Amino acid sequence: MSQDEAPPIAGDYDLSTPIPSTSGLRQGLTSYGDAHFSLFLRKVFVKALGYSEDALSRPIIGIINTYSGFNPCHGNVPQLIEATKRGIHLNGGLAVEFPTISVAESFSAPTSMFLRNLMSMDTEEMIRAQPLDACVMIGGCDKTVPAQLMGGISANKPILPLITGPMMPGSHRGKRIGACTDCRNNWAAFRAGEIDIEEISEINEELAPTIGTCGVMGTASTMACITAALGMMPLRGASAPAVSSARARVAEETGANAVRTAREKWKPQDILSKESFLNAIIVLQAIGGSTNAVVHLMAIANRHPKVQGVITLQTFEEVGRKTPLLVDLKPSGDNYMNDFHNAGGMLALLHTLRPLLYLSAKTITGQTLGEVLDASPFKEFPLSRQIIRPLSNPLYPTSSLVVLTGNIAPNGAVMKASASKDRSLLKHKGPAVVFANSADLAKRIDDPDLEVTKDSILVLQNIGPIGNPGMPEAGLLPIPRKLASQGVKDMLRISDGRMSGTAGGTIILHVSPESAVPESPFGIVQTGDIITCDVESRTLRLEISDEELKKRIEARVAATKVEKKPKQRGYRGLYERSVNQAQDGADFDFLTADGGERD
């Protein structure tokens, strides 16, 4: 028995010697000024749950239970907990589940992103506070996986993400449909009068036919693939459907891995490196992943003291220039996550990407990524090559996601170029039609008198991290109804907000600094101004002189000094005071690796 494993019970109460361990039940004792009494009291209470000394002497593996009646994406969490416990107990650990908050996209006002940092704080603090030797973190819906990775990396105890998995696609009049790319396509068709109210009601019944996360390459699936690429979970854990038996086996395997990870004390800050993040970004580009993942990956990277400042927005651009889009899934392509899984999933993708990957990156298995791939060869078959293209025949040559800069986005903006529906808009010059905020957009976008043509550029301000706390996914501005009904399907749209990973179009997002910052050049764009976007040269420019730009900013700063906003209380106040900009991950400044000391 090692010194860190269970000492004799008597040792716990021997007042002449210090508590002999920093693991299991003996770690992180509540402060009463008498450590032996703290442990004695802890055992009194834990025994109320019926645990024996034998059970309590095992490595303690926490399981974060994020089941919620308001989170259908996590609807299988109870089954996953059962399977995870099986894996833990079969391998000599003790499973102890506990709750944290759970955040689902459609049930979180103002946005789930507003609550991501709160969930990361909950996750970090509960992992820190409780006597865990390792922790399985069950997440799935868009913001839960990044929140858990952010919190887990900051807590820096052994952590094992476990994803709930994608839902299955549904069927409408003989066509497969699935949340949520098809939610948006069909809603746009309904707005344009192409389908009627009866049909949209039928479609509503079929878009999410099972529990699980959105079944396309939206933010949830993107974060699942990225978590696997970071080396933090079994590769098939990224894509096994939520309702499959494979998903339960991934949970059992994660439980088994957790016991080993606890014994080996593999901490996330030791496993994750610059190379792990480069692999994650390669995968992000190759899957045509969600633009939201750029914000989340920046927040995750900036929690790691050795990676903060090493991975920047420009890293996404540099990696993108060398990485083709290979995965044919909606919204960039045509298929669904269960197709990706059946085609070989992340194992097939990583074998295909092998020449581009950093194979020395560590993984949660104790092996390097290269060793993991060597141990699991993949033999391709026709479906695998249809869904996961070879490097020689990509879906999109390079740079699925691009980073643009220019006088209205000096700190960058992001576009999923591969999801553009009208590629001519990737090089476009046109007059701006500016909406001051979401309410202004809702009021005027369908006004028949709105002066707008298909060549106009729709600009939405004040939906950035501070401007509309939580940075809503309102960046996919709807096509004005009068243009939609004429058949216009895509326009160039620019905002400082985000867009759902399931959405498509020629959309520029995350403009930084956001317009709510008084000095923001994006905040001074006016209706009628000419904007030029050139994706090839990665530029986004407002066609006014530097003097005019400066004059407008100075006038705006002076006006902002006069109007004072009321101070917000509670979490909202904390959010507004502490959130950083999109290019840094929209995290709280006091939570990043350089945000201060933490004992």
Least Cβ distance, residue 68 to ligand FES (angstroms): 11
Q: What backbone phi and psi angles, to 5 degrees, belong to 289?
A: -70, 175
DSSP for 226-250, written as a single string? HHHHTTSS-GGGGTS-TTSHHHHHH
Provide the minimum distance between the beta carbon of 470 and ligand FES in the complex, in angstroms, as a whole number.
15
Instruction: Mark residues 509-548: x for contact with ligand FES by CB under 6 A, - for none.
Output: ----------------------------------------
Buried b (16+ CB within 10 A) or exposed e, 466-503: bbbbbbbbbbbbbbbbebbeeebbbbbbbbbbbbbbbb
CA separation, residue 213 to residues 75, 76, 253 (Å): 9, 10, 21
The tally of CA atoms less than 13 A away on the side-chain side of residue 543 is 13
Q: Choose the binding region for ligand FES from 8-16, 48-56, 210-218, 371-379 (rule: CB under 6 A).
A: 210-218
- Rounded least distance, CB 446 to ligand FES, Å: 26
Rounded to a whole number of angstroms, the minimum distance from the CB of residue 146 to ligand FES is 12
Find, among 110, 349, 67, 386, the residue nearest to 221 by Cα. Answer: 349
Site string for ligand FES, 151-180 (x = CB under 6 A): -----------------------------x
Which of 126, 149, 183, 214 binds ligand FES (CB under 6 A)? It is 214
User: What are the residues whose beta carbons fall under 8 Å from the beta carbon of 385, sequence distance 6 or more?
Assistant: none
Query: Whose Cβ is closer to ligand FES: residue 465's or residue 501's?
Result: 501
Binding segment (CB under 6 A) for ligand FES, from list 43-51, 212-220, 350-358, 410-418: 212-220
What CA–CA distance (Å, rounded) separates 576 from 567? 9
In the bound complex, what is the minimum distance in angstroms from residue 178's beta carbon to ligand FES? 10
Which of 168/492 has CB closer to ligand FES?
168
Q: Residue 105 or 317: which CB sits closer to ligand FES? A: 105
Q: Which stretch binds ligand FES (CB under 6 A): 75-83, 196-204, 214-222, 291-299?
A: 214-222
Distance CA 358, CA 277 (A): 10
- From 13-21, 213-221, 244-252, 288-296, give the range in contact with ligand FES by CB under 6 A: 213-221
> Is there binding between residue 141 and ligand FES (CB under 6 A)?
yes
Beta strands, E only, 55-149: 60-65, 94-99, 134-139
Judged by beta carbon, residue 105 or residue 122, the one nearer ligand FES is: 105
Interacting residue with ligand FES among 39, 126, 217, 220 (CB under 6 A) = 220
Residue whose CB is less far from ligand FES, 163 or 258: 163
Which residue among 25, 56, 63, 73 contacts ligand FES (CB under 6 A)? 73
Closest CB to ligand FES among residues 108, 352: 108
Q: Which of 76, 102, 156, 213 binds ligand FES (CB under 6 A)?
A: 213
Q: Considering only CA atoms, which of 145, 205, 199, 140 is closest in space to residue 179?
A: 205
The DSSP letter of residue 421 is S
Residue type, 104: A
The 8-class DSSP code of residue 567 comes to P
Name the residue nearer to ligand FES (CB basis): 211 or 286: 211
- Comparison of 208 and 509: residue with beta carbon closer to ligand FES: 208
Q: Pick between residue 213 and residue 239 the one whose CB is nearest to ligand FES.
A: 213
Q: Least distance in Å: CB of 72 to ligand FES?
A: 7
* Residue 125 in tokens: 């603090």
Task: Give yes or no for residue 103 binding ligand FES (CB under 6 A).
Answer: no
104 binds ligand FES (CB under 6 A): yes
Please state the closest distance from residue 311 (CB atom) to ligand FES, in A: 25
Question: Smallest gap, in angstroms, from Cβ of residue 185 to ligand FES?
Answer: 15
By CB under 6 A, is residue 105 in contact with ligand FES? yes
Give the integer Cα–Cα distance in Å for 357 and 457: 38
What is the per-residue burial (b if ≥16 Cβ within 10 Å, else e) of 143-179? bbbbbbbbbbbbbbbbbbbbbbbbbbbbebeeebbbb
Binding segment (CB under 6 A) for ligand FES, from list 211-219, 373-381, 439-447, 483-491: 211-219
Within 13 Å, how many C-alpha atoms sit on residue 366's CB side?
A: 9
- When the beta carbons of 112 and 461 are compared against ligand FES, the nearer one is 112
For residue 230, which of 196, 272, 263 has the smallest C-alpha distance? 272
C-alpha distances (whole Å) from 338 to each of 166, 170, 388 are 7, 12, 13
Nearer to ligand FES, 56 or 104 (CB): 104
Give me the sheet containing 60-65, strands edge to edge.
94-99, 60-65, 134-139, 159-163
Q: Which of residues 279-308 bind ligand FES (CB under 6 A)?
A: none
Residue 66 or 156: which CB sits closer to ligand FES? 66
| Other residues' Cβ atoms within 10 Å of the Cβ of residue 560 | 15
State the DSSP string of 145-160: HHHHHHHHHHHTS-EE
Count other C-beta atoms under 10 Å from residue 342's C-beta. Answer: 16
Q: Minimum CB separation from ligand FES for residue 220, in Å?
A: 3
The binding site for ligand FES (CB under 6 A) comprises 73, 104-105, 141-142, 180, 213-214, 218, 220
